Amino acid sequence: MQALVDRIQKDGNILNGDVLKVDAFITHQVDPVLMEEIAESFYQAFKEAGITKVVTIEASGIVPAVYTAQKFGVPMIYARKSKSLTMNEELLTTEVYSFTKQVTSTVSISRKFLSKEDKVLIIDDFLANGQAAKGLIELCRQADASVEGIGILIEKSFQPGRKLLEEIGVKVVSLARISSLENGKIAFIEGDA
């Protein structure tokens, strides 16, 4: 997606060699016009898949996921990293380890929101080590829901997440694919949409 690549070039910043800061338009301040274009790209990529739910994980997956869910006209569910006061029903639960933050979170979705009739599109802002997406696939599996695909805004293709998800056998559509953040430069390979 050229508009996303251009924006990363313009407003993205490299931190500590392998972390890309995109807080000016995705992860903190949000550009809704760009989000709408991102959602349209995911819609075009998955419109034949019969999607019934969009699933993401808090926090920064929520914004692109809700824009995408609106395009499909389906609900968006975000897995929670802490149990909310009102979450008193049966839960689907798994552990997600963040390599970047070096913490393990227990993530959950109320069982009542996913069922074996659901065809799920998983959306997340970054694909790095793939642990977040793998955890979401596991929650869908616990509900016997089928995962039709994974939509990623920014894939760090030099990290192992993409390979991990392809080995699981899920279709991955990444709008921007970064091959390197070395020497202060953001290098791209061709995106999937």
Interacting residues with ligand G4P (CB under 6 A): 19-22, 27, 57, 59-60, 98-101, 125-132, 156, 161
Cα 98 off chain centre by: 14
Was 156 annotated as part of a binding site?
A: yes
CB of 161 to ligand G4P, least distance (A): 4
Supply 98's token pair.
């963040």
Side chain identity at residue 177, one-letter code = R
Closest approach of Cβ 50 to ligand G4P, in Å?
26
Q: Is the peptide bond before 59 cis (omega within 30 degrees of 0)?
A: yes
Q: Is 130 annotated as a binding residue?
A: yes
From the CB of 85, what's the least distance to ligand G4P, in Å? 20
Least separation, in Å, of the C-beta of 12 and ligand G4P? 9
- Residue 129 marked in a binding site: yes
CB closer to ligand G4P out of 27 and 52: 27
By CB atoms closer than 10 A (0-12, 13-18, 19+), residue 157 is buried
Whichever of 19 and 87 has its CB closer to ligand G4P, that residue is 19
**Nearest alpha carbon to residue 43 among 77, 78, 67:** 67
Q: Smaller CB distance to ligand G4P: residue 42 or 52?
A: 42
Q: Please state, in angstroms and rounded to a whole number, the distance separating the CA atoms of residues 147 and 135.
A: 12
